[in-house]
Every structure is written in C-alpha cells, then in structure tokens.
Structure 1
C-alpha cells in the first residue's frame, strides 16, 4: 500500500501505517539497561532475537510504502548481553538491500503477505520479471548480504563449511546465522549484528540442493550433527533430509580447538511409491516450518496445506499466502527416515491438521503382550484443526487497542483504513479464512503427542536396503494415533538437556485471559508452563487447569527461552524463562522462575514495541544452549 506525500501527516518521515504497524527504532551502540529485581548470577551469556523492524518506508518521491503483513517488514536483530544482574542491549536493521529493492519497485521481490495493490496485469508482469531476472538476482544475492528478507530463526554455532569459513574468515563454531523457510540464509557478526553474507545450503555443501527448507533445524548433541531437509518443487516433488557435522567442537574444549573435516550426508529423497502403496495418496509439497527427530529417525510432517501448482503460483502472486491452499479431504502424512541408512522406511497417516512448531520427540522399544517388541516413535506438536492460525499472523505486531481496566474484555476493532490515503483503494481488502467468524475466534492449539508404532528398525544390511521398497511390511498402510496433553500452547520450548528423550515440562505462549481470541485484533498473550505427565482436558482459563501462567493486562509476550540451571542435580523445570514483552508503548525483557512462573526481574528496553518471534541463547563460552 502507498500513502501519497500530500496525505502524509508527518512530512519528512514515513506516514503512519493505515493498518496499525509502527517502525522499531534501532540502537546500534550497546546501552546498559536498568534491571528491576534480580537475575540469577548463573545466567551468563547472550540472547539473540530476530523479527521485524521497518513497516513504513519513505520513498524518494515523498510517498510512503506500507508493509501489509508483519512477516514482510524489514528484518531486525536484537542482542542482549546478560552478566549477573546487568543487561546490555543493541539492535540492527538487516534488510537494507530489500529496502533499496522496494524503493526501486523491484517486481521480483517475493513476500509472505499479498500485495493488495497488484492487478492481474501486474501479476503477469511479475512472472516475466521473475523468469528473466533469475540469473541476475542470484549474482546480486551473492554480493549483497542484505539482498533478501531473512528474519525467522537465529542460530549460533552454525556449521558454515570450509568454503564459507575461508571466504568470511569466521572460524568453525563461531557462525551466527539467520534462517527462514526457504533456502536463503544470512550470516551476521555476533557482536555488531552486521550482515556479512547471504548464502544457501549449497555454499555449505554443493550436494544440498532445493528451494525450501525448515526454519527450525534439529541438533543431536551426542552425534554432534545438524539436521534439516530440502524440498524440491516441480512435477515430481520430493523431501530430502541432510545431516551435517561436526556441528560443534567437543563441549569440554574451547570453540577454537581444531575439528575433523566437515561432512554432509544426504538421505534418500522421499517420493517413490507413496501414491500407490503405503499412504494411498500422492505426495504434494506443503508448508513446513519445523519437523521432528529422534536418536534413530527423522520425521517430516506433510500437512494438507499445499503449494498450488507445485509452488509455481508463487511467481504469479509474488507472495506465499495466496500460493497456499488447505485441503481438508486429505490426510496429514508423517514421513519417517532412518538416520543410519538415510532411507525412507515408513509413512504414517493422520487426520488433516496443521502445525507451525514441533516440540520434543524420541523413540523407544516397547514390549507387547506375548513378549514381542516394537519400535515406537513419540513426538509432540502444537497442532491446529485447520489453518485459521495463518490468518492470525496478519495481526502480529499491530498496536494494541484501548483496554478496559479491570475487565476481561478488550476492544478488538481493527485500525480503520482511510481508503483516500492508499492506492489503489479498491484492492486494499484481502479476504481471509477467518472473515465472518464471530469475534474472529479460532480453536486454540492442542499439544498432541503422536504415537507411531511398529517402526522398522534401523539396519545397515544391503539386503534390507534393496529389498524394503518391495516388501509387504514397507508398503503396508500405517496410521498415527495421538493423545491431547494440553491446550493453547504455541512457540514451545523445553529443557534442551532432554532433547530426543522422554520429558515432562513444556513452556510457550498462550492466549491472555484479558483479551479475546488471537485473530480479533492485535495479538495479546501470556506465558505458560504445562506438565505433560498430567494431561488436562480443559482450557487454561478453567479453574481445573494445572497450567501455570504469567499473564498481565495488555501484555503481548514473545517466544519464551528456557535456560536450565547449570547444576547436574537440577530438576527438569529448574531454570529461568526469558521473554520480550510489549505493553502499549513499552517494551521490556522479562525473567521468570521457570518452575513457578513468578517474576524474578524485568528491564525496560524503550518506549516502543519490539516485534520478535524466535530467539536463541549463547552462554559466556560462545556455545548455544537454548537454540531455535
């Protein structure tokens, strides 16, 4: 959307957003923050958070370009150095190249949200420019570290590989990388947050090829391996997991210690025989933000939220939102890959559902009646019955409505768009799935624990590898069952010491008791801890709920980061929770006792809202201890 210069109430500055987004000020020189309360002395290290920074961009002619979806706002990174009861903060905008492309009206710029101003003719022009400029854009991306938008997850100690290490001078284990759901990554300086290099996984290893991947990787500390997967689009789409290591030096030595040569293993592409035998439906590429892994298996979810025309429609619409479609008639599929052999060993059917975020997973051998055994996978997801939650993403970061003090209601009305101040007005409204629903209410997420039974055991025998594609056991139809353990938990985090193992506690964000459903206006929420060993079949606001919640009126909390207490004898839920909280025109860092969910400390960052979703924490020795 465009606000013309003559309608700008703030000449010389970007015009205010007609849909409620405000730019976030940058603080590149670190500042000390005043702490109220006491941060435990063992909390030592650096928290990084990624998110959105600029929504309203002043163009050279005085007009203002307005971003319509928060995922498309220019990227911004935040850095908090915590030492005892001291906190130092800095931030940086990291998409200046994208801002230049917006000012130049680059038709090849892909976004998540739709452009309400683009006509059918404009879409056809985009198709032409995407095709004709494909090669030149690749060259520009190679030379401009801020050419594209990367602002989802941030990963310390990223395994860059020898080529990037030699090019950038970043030593093994020292790379700080921002990721997204596409094969585009951004290396940044861990101290200044300055972008250093835009790259793809092919830079890490030429064998890794594809267009899409998960923002959230998996890490096996025992095997010292980084795991993700690539999605190849086209007439014969496929998923292909890959394993890269060594991820980190041994934790008992310095990060500067020498490492053995890096390696990458590609797993077998998942595409063969899926339609004919073991799932009864053909494989279609779908939107996948995260996935699961156990000691023996990689499990890739395949939700019925598909890319239309195999993803080719993205270059027509120039956005992801209008490319996706939900098909409630098809099953969710869970594709299981053997980590030892790299082979796809089974696929499980489940009810149609959708999830952004997986929690923990593990596999174990169980004894059946009669003495036989079976290998079972358990995996937890924050699951939704459909994709209405996608519509909620339009509201992330919007300024909060006025709240009635002391009541359980909030004015959920959206900021009105003055159609005379945007161009062209008739294209402003984008119809969403939640339009027409009372109060825009959506069903809360369910923490579902899926059980995948009779999983084929890992084996390295050549006989089994060549035989499995034709065996009756491999091609049988398998069904995933699940149990609901809790409701209304999103952006899940758990104690990283229990990764790939049975665990008990889960932390996340939840809807606020002081506000209506997420989709009613701005996203207002609290922080939650649930005990998965005590499943609850009631909502968190019910008096019978066993959940522990931090929730204050008018607060909107970002993803919690759990830091475990360093003592080896510490209980699973002993530690702290770090979160960023926005309240009206205030932003503060919140520190909670993770066990009781009571406040330990907070520190004000500024009179603005910081719009972040994900974050990671790196200890004082430079090792990521809570990575997302």
Structure 2
C-alpha cells in the first residue's frame, strides 16, 4: 500500500417447530404478533442463567464443522455468513492470577464463518483474532494500553497517565497482526489489496469474496483470511495516506456505495479544535490490481471531539451525525483515564447535536443542521428525497447506555439493570442546495446551522437496535427495517426478539401495528442479516439470517426466517459445546455468480 491507500422463494414453515413458533397469524387482519412467552422465574438447577452464557469464553472451532439442519433452506440461499464480536472475557496468567475483562465492548475478538452450501448444507468455523493482545494481558496480569471501558481501581490517575503518555510519546512494540482488538464489523472486498488475477480459489472460498477487513472505532483495521479467518496484518489509515497519521479514531462502520464500490469513512483528530476528515477510498483508475485512490473530501473543525460509531451516506452526500458523546479535555482525558468511557463528558441537555453534510462529488462541506441532543451507536439508512436528505437512526436519550454494558451487570439476570433501550427515529434535512448556495466559506469555516426536523419516531415501547435492511434498498427510499428488540417478557437484560418495522405504517401514525416479531423462549438472537430472493418482486421478499444463542441447550443455531411473515423456514443447530456468544455485526455474501 502506498501513499494513496490501501429452493422455494419464500420457503416453507418449519413444521417441527410450530409449538414454539415466534409469530401467529391473526386470521382476519393478516398481522403477526408475538406469541406468549413463558417467563423464567427460577434459575435452572445447577446451571448459570441461560442468557448469561453469551458472555462466557467461547471456544474456537478451527476446522469446518457440519451443522444439523432442520427444515428446508431455500435452494437459492448459498454463500457465507460472517459474524464478529467479542468471544473471551476471562483470562488466567501463568501465575494463576485471574484477569477479568469488565465490559462487553472490550471482550477479545472472535470471528465466525457459516458456510451455506448447495443442497442446504451448513458448516461452521471460528477463530480468535487478537491472540498477541491476549498474551500481553496475561503477561502483564491486567489489561494494558487504552481500552473502551476497563477500569483499574488499583492504578492512580498519575500512573495511568504516565504509562499511556509514555506509549504515546516514545511508542510501544510494533503491532503484529493480532496485537489489538478489531471486532466490530467485517468489510468485504476492501479496495487497496493487490490481488493475483491468476490465483486459484482456496478450498471453500467464496468466489465473490476477494478479501475481508475488520473495523473498529480506532484508526486501525485488520485484514483477515476470508476462509481460515487467520489474521494477516494490521494497518491504519495513516499507512494509506500520511495526512491521516494524526487521526485518533475512525467510525467502526464505514459506508460503501454498492453501485460504485466507493468506501467512505470519517476520522477524528483530537485537539483544542477537533478535526473530522471525510475520506473516500476507491479502485484506482489504472485498474483493480493497482493501489487504490484515496481522497480527503472535507475537513470539518469543531469544539466537540465526539465518539461516533457510525455515520450516514446518500448518493449525493456524506452526513456526519454529530451526536452527543463528547471527550473531555479535547480528547486528552483518555490518557489519564486509560479508557474511553471514563473520559466522556456528562450529557448536556443544552448542547445541540449537529448533522454535517458533505457533498460527495464536490468534496465540500455544504450544510449544517442542528437538533436537540441525543446519542446513537447506529444509523439505519439515509437517502436523498428531492433537495432534502432523510436520515434514520437508532437513537438513545443519552450516552449513559454505554455504562449499562458492563459484564457484571449483564451476567446478573436476577437483579441486573436492563440497558437503556434505543428507539427508531427519522430526521429530515431540508433544502440542502439552498444552504450550500448560501455558504461561500473559507477553509475551516462551517455553514450556518439550519434546523433538523424530526419526521417521526417509532413508539418507544417497540425498542430497536442492531438495524438491518434489504441491501438493494441501501441509500434508497425503503419501507422495511429489521433489528433486535427487548420484549421484557424474559429474564435477559438485552434483546430476545427479532423485529420487522413497516415504516410506511409508522409514517401514517400506526406505530404499534407496524411491528412483527420472532421470539423463542430462552433464546437470544443476533443482528438479523437480510438476504434478498434472486427473483424478488417485493422489498421484503427474502430471508433473515440470525445466529441465536439457545439457552436451553446451552449452544446456538443459525435461524432462517421468512422476512415477509417472520416465520421460521429452517435452522442449523450447532453441536453441544459450540456456543453462540452475544456478538455485534455480520455480513452475508452470496456464492452464486453475480
């Protein structure tokens, strides 16, 4: 890398699971509602709570292992499902000292690969991808360096500051391919890796997967072998372009235009004035086997360095969702706290949030909008609507939700605190060309802010997180959003349902009637991944894939749902001993010719 950068269309209902089916039809209205769920009132004898096992250490499965399929997987569903997230929390040093990772976001990375093959066969493998970091922790008998939320009451502020400052100024050991934690989301076919056009596919390799890169909130990425899941190397945006060496953070969720294959991200540099850089990476004009082109489209200065996990993209604009989760002391607070969580300022109800709009084609910050404060992990989708932009977000009242995900709390299913729940909200940014034309700006200035309009909000009783949609409708006006939801009917402190939301109904005021659910007793689903039917006639014509923790069997399964009805089509059971930890995000890549 150089200067420029690195079956049946809808399936059949699984007859073997009718009694535990997640939805039941209302005959006269055709709606679906959650089936009654038995509440868990007593701890299973001699066993941990069935949901808490999602925070146990998950064993690696290095060789492909066949799963037992129940039901009929659609014949057109062939490809690879990747899942990423934390897989290990409890370590032990050579001296026998226990090392406890305290927060869900700091769990050591583990990648999972489910291969759905012709004839409805499914195989599974997984791998830990931060082994050098694990060994560093074990040798030091503690978490070292900067974490997301790890607290160390035995160290004084001055000790933390000195250790981290010394690393920042004098540098530490060179990073190996597994010496950091990169666990949030996989990006498939990242531009910037020279590929041998004559290379033969590995056994089991998906022909549509050239490479895979893992992303996280820091300015670091990890290349992973897409078949064996072996880590290959770590690299930063600064390795791609020298102008990005000073960037401290990057959004963990890059945005990719599926038509142009342009990759976008937003990087943050700490300092008395925070600097956000909007970056576009794309295939070189010289061809796919040359180093790609990287452009810094805009630099936006702000007094607020903010932790931004994701942002929004449309066909015309990049939208930085500058919500409220601000670092104290210009971001330098991370040096003496040693973690991000304790370095955040308290929520300020008087501080406005912003939307910075950057023209993708002009490479210019053209408009700014403001709204009342909120926080979010995830944007859902965005699209151009005439001269306006629509932005959908899974929002929270404030960023204190991050503190709800400490492991001790999540494992305590008798008296633990349920995390603050997100809610689906739509914003409209009106008449962007008007504000773009009115702004004749010198470098570093921002357009005068206009007001962002809240179009609607899903009833907050239908909480919503880990969003997904039909990828064919990404960057387009769309009707259906999918995610996970906490019903409150089960003991689990996180989500226990998959939810489908009809946004057209929400717009018309029918918020409660807009949702359909899948739920099964003592089961915890992961983020649903939509796979469209190859001959789809409707937006919701396809299936949802979710890796589900099954607390009853103390293992997991891959769930295949009919995305229209939210009824089960099939599942692939993992063998006993192979559990499905609570993970973050995933991606499905069809292996059929495209």
After TM superposition, the score normalised by the length of structure 1 is 0.77
Residues 1:72 and 2:71 aligned together: no
| Cα pair distance change 1:223/1:524, threshold 3 Å | closer
Going from structure 1 to structure 2, the CA distance change for 1:229 and 1:138 (only over 3 Å counts) comes to farther
What is aligned with 1:230? 267
Question: Is 1:378 aligned with 2:345?
Answer: no
User: Matches of 2:343 and 2:524 in 1, distance apart?
Assistant: 29
Give the Å deviation of 1:104.
Answer: 2.3
Partner of 1:503: 478
Aligned position for 1:589? 558
Q: 2:126 aligns with which of 81, 85, 91?
A: 91
Structure 1 segment 174-253 matched on structure 2, within 5 A: 174-209=210-245, 210-246=247-283
CA shift at 1:527, angstroms?
0.1
Contact 1:364 1:376 in 2 (8 A): yes
- Trace 1:382-531 onto structure 2 (pairs within 5 A): 382-395=394-407, 398-399=410-411, 401=413, 412-414=414-416, 440=417, 444-456=421-433, 467-469=440-442, 475-486=447-458, 487-515=462-490, 522-531=493-502
Unmatched segments (≥5 aa) in structure 2: 1-51
Task: Name whichever of 188-197 and 222-231 sits farther off.
Answer: 222-231
What pairs with 1:45-194 in structure 2 (closer than 5 Å)? Answer: 45-84=79-118, 85-105=120-140, 108-120=144-156, 123-134=157-168, 137=171, 139-141=173-175, 144-161=176-193, 174-194=210-230
Secondary structure, aligned partner of 2:63: coil
Aligned partners of 1:20 and 1:491: how far apart in 2?
Answer: 17
Deviations 1:169-206 (A, max 9, x none): 99997221111011011111111111110111122333
Deviations for 1:434-457, whole angstroms, at most 9, x for unmatched residues?
xxxxxx466642211111012127
Q: CA deviation at 1:116?
A: 4.3
**1:140 alignment partner, SS class:** coil
Which 10-residue stretch deviates more, 214-223 or 190-199? Answer: 214-223
2: distance between equivalents of 1:539 and 1:395? 37
Residues 59 and 103, structure 1, Cα contact 8 Å, conserved in 2: yes
2: distance between equivalents of 1:389 and 1:214?
18
1:558 aligns to what? 526
- Alpha-carbon distance between aligned partners in 2 of 1:396 and 1:81, rounded to the nearest angstrom: 34
User: Match of 2:11?
Assistant: none
Give the Cα–Cα distance (whole angstroms) in 1 for the partners of residues 395 and 285 of structure 2.
32
Q: The residue matched to 2:440 in structure 1 has which SS? A: helix
CA, structure 1 residues 46+173, in 2 after alignment: closer, same or farther (shift >3 Å)? Answer: closer
Aligned pairs, number? 524
Aligned to 1:324: 344
Taking structure 2 as the reference length, the TM-score comes to 0.81
1:458: Cα distance to partner? Answer: 10
Contact 2:439 2:447 in 1 (8 A): no
- Preserved contact between residue 405 and residue 419 of structure 2 (Cα < 8 Å): no
Indicate the SS of the match to 1:29: strand
2:39 is the counterpart of 1:39: no
User: Does 2:570 match 1:601?
Assistant: yes
Q: Secondary structure at the match of 1:534?
A: helix
SS of equivalent to 1:268: strand
- Hey, what's the Cα distance between the residues in 1 that align with 2:318 and 2:408? 31
CA RMSD of aligned residues (A): 3.2
Q: Deviation of residue 363 (structure 1)?
A: 1.3
Equivalent residue number for residue 436 of structure 1: none
Structure 1 residues 35, 20: closer, same or farther in 2, change over 3 A?
A: closer
Quote the offset at 1:114 in angstroms. 2.9
Cα offset, 1:108, TM superposition: 4.4
Matched, 1:266 2:296: yes
Give the match for residue 427 of structure 1: none
* Cα 1:83/1:52, change in 2 over 3 Å: same
